[in-house]
């Protein structure tokens, strides 16, 4: 059954999704996620006690996380049945945001394989509407809620408003598509205030999601400031900023396998530097079982992906979980 889903998705991706204009492909993909009961297929999951991990003290059935992108609770609910050990909701801001105009997402063929470039710009319904949306969502696996903002006060407001609905809370200081969010890594003093402010409003484990574009700042300031504030999980990381003339903003965040070599290298360096003080979620370019294994073997506690979910399909999680179990035999 799992194999059949894999073949079907490949045919759908190559034959339809990769050929449609991007907005139509997104609409079709999200329609499918909302309406097809894929989460009822046990073949897309694998439960095995050897896969269980603890992230910030929260028990995850396995170390695979769906990275932040979807905010529709119907999609998050389905995703929770697609093999992931945790699912991340989209970064929410205190007020609703329309995001950047289309074109805001394009496919890209890189030498490493298919990727995306987006300038989504935090299209989201805002804190109050999102609190209502999350209220009815059952947590089949842990939910990571995510906050973004332009001031420490905005992050604190969003975290305080969302934290009751999540098992962990992610602070996005790294999206390259909103100037003030992207700039956080270069403002170490304000970042310290931000970390203290969010730490003060929740007892839930906090994850700081960093940018792969600020490698040195992350190691020199961002991670030490997080640890100092009592924040012990880093998600490395977000998309990488690139020029992209096809997008409305002429630039966007690159995701997909072109990021992977740097992701693995960063995990190795951060593990060597911060050791057991820090838990790491490795994100960026994971789209195959051997890549997930490599980052976990390098010392990441968990690994996350989004682009692989689109380009490889819902079967990828099961393939990765099978490989992880085989490796533990
Ligand atoms: C269309 C799109 C929207 C995204 N929205 C968010 C977001 O709201 N918050 C966030 O932290 N990351 C967001 N990301 C980044 C992903 O969560 C992930 O960190 C990044 O794509 C790298 O992983 P990947 O190569 O597996 O996709 C988004 C990525 C894409 C492609």
pLDDT at 258: 98
Q: What is the pLDDT of residue 178?
A: 85
How far is CA 213 from its chain centroid? 16
Give the contacts of 50 (CB within 8 A, at least 6 positions apart): 325, 328
Q: CA-CA distance, 211 to 263, in Å (whole number)? A: 11
Q: In angstroms, what is the span from residue 67 Cα to ligand 1's centroid?
A: 6
Give the pLDDT mean for 24-52.
Answer: 95
Where do the H-state alpha helices sit in 80-178? 127-134, 152-162
Predicted local distance difference test score (pLDDT) of residue 229: 98
Q: Is the pLDDT of residue 329 over 90?
A: no
- Which pLDDT score is estimated for 180? 77
Q: Given this model, what pLDDT does residue 247 score?
A: 98
Residue 211 Cβ < 6 Å to ligand 1:
no
- Structural contact between residues 43 and 318, judged by C-beta atoms closer than 8 angstroms: yes
φ, ψ of residue 103 in degrees (nearest 5): -70, 130
Q: How far is the CA of 329 from the centre of ligand 1 (A)?
A: 33
Q: What is the mean pLDDT of residues 28-57?
A: 96
Tell me, in angstroms, the distance from the centre of ligand 1 to residue 135's CA.
24
Percent of the chain with pLDDT over 70: 100
Distance CA 263, CA 206 (A): 21
> Could you identify the atom of ligand 1 that is nearest to the CA of residue 124?
8
Say how far apart CA 321 and CA 143 lie, in whole Å: 19
303 lines ligand 1 (CB under 6 A): no
Q: Is 61 in the pocket of ligand 1 (CB under 6 A)?
A: no
pLDDT value at residue 3: 79
The fraction of the chain above a pLDDT of 90, given in percent, is 94
CA of 68 to the centre of ligand 1 (A): 5
Burial (CB < 10 A; 0-12, 13-18, 19+), residue 93, is buried
pLDDT of residue 260: 98
What is the maximum span of the chain, computed from C-alpha positions, in angstroms?
53
Residue 68 Cβ < 6 Å to ligand 1: yes
Is 172 touching ligand 1 by the criterion CB < 6 Å? yes
Q: What is the CA(239)–ligand 1 centre distance, in A?
A: 6
Average pLDDT in the chain: 96
Q: Is 80 exceeded by the pLDDT of residue 1?
A: no
Ligand 1 center from residue 102 Cα (angstroms): 17
């Amino acid at each position: 059954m799992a194999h059949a889903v894999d073949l079907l998705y490949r045919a759908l991706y190559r034959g339809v999704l990769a050929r449609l204009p991007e907005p139509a492909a997104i609409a079709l993909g999200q329609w499918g996620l909302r309406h097809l009961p894929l989460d009822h297929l046990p073949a897309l999951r694998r439960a095995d006690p050897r896969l269980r991990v603890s992230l910030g003290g929260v028990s995850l059935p396995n170390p695979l996380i769906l990275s932040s992108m979807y905010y529709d609770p119907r999609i998050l609910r389905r995703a929770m049945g697609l093999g992931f050990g945790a699912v991340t909701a989209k970064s929410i801001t205190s007020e609703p945001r329309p995001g950047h105009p289309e074109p805001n997402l394009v496919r890209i063929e890189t030498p490493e394989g298919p990727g995306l470039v987006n300038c989504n710009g935090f299209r989201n319904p805002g804190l109050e509407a999102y609190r209502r949306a999350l209220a009815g969502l059952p947590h089949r696996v842990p939910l990571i809620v995510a906050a973004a903002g332009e001031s420490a006060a905005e992050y604190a407001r969003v975290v305080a408003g969302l934290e009751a609905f999540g098992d962990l809370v992610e602070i996005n200081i790294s999206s390259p598509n909103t100037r003030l969010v992207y700039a956080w890594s270069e403002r170490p003093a304000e970042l310290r205030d931000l970390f203290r402010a969010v730490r003060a409003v929740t007892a839930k484990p906090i994850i700081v999601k960093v940018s792969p574009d600020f490698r040195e700042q992350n190691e020199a300031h961002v991670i030490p400031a997080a640890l100092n504030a009592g924040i012990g999980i880093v998600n490395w990381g977000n998309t990488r900023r690139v020029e992209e003339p096809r997008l409305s903003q002429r630039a966007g965040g690159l995701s997909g396998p072109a990021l992977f070599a740097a992701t693995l290298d960063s995990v190795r360096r951060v593990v060597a530097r911060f050791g057991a003080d820090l838990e790491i979620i490795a994100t960026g370019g994971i789209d195959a079982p051997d890549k997930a294994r490599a980052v976990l073997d390098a010392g990441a506690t968990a690994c996350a992906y989004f682009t692989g979910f689109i380009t490889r399909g819902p079967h990828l999680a099961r393939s990765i979980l099978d490989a992880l179990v085989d490796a533990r035999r």
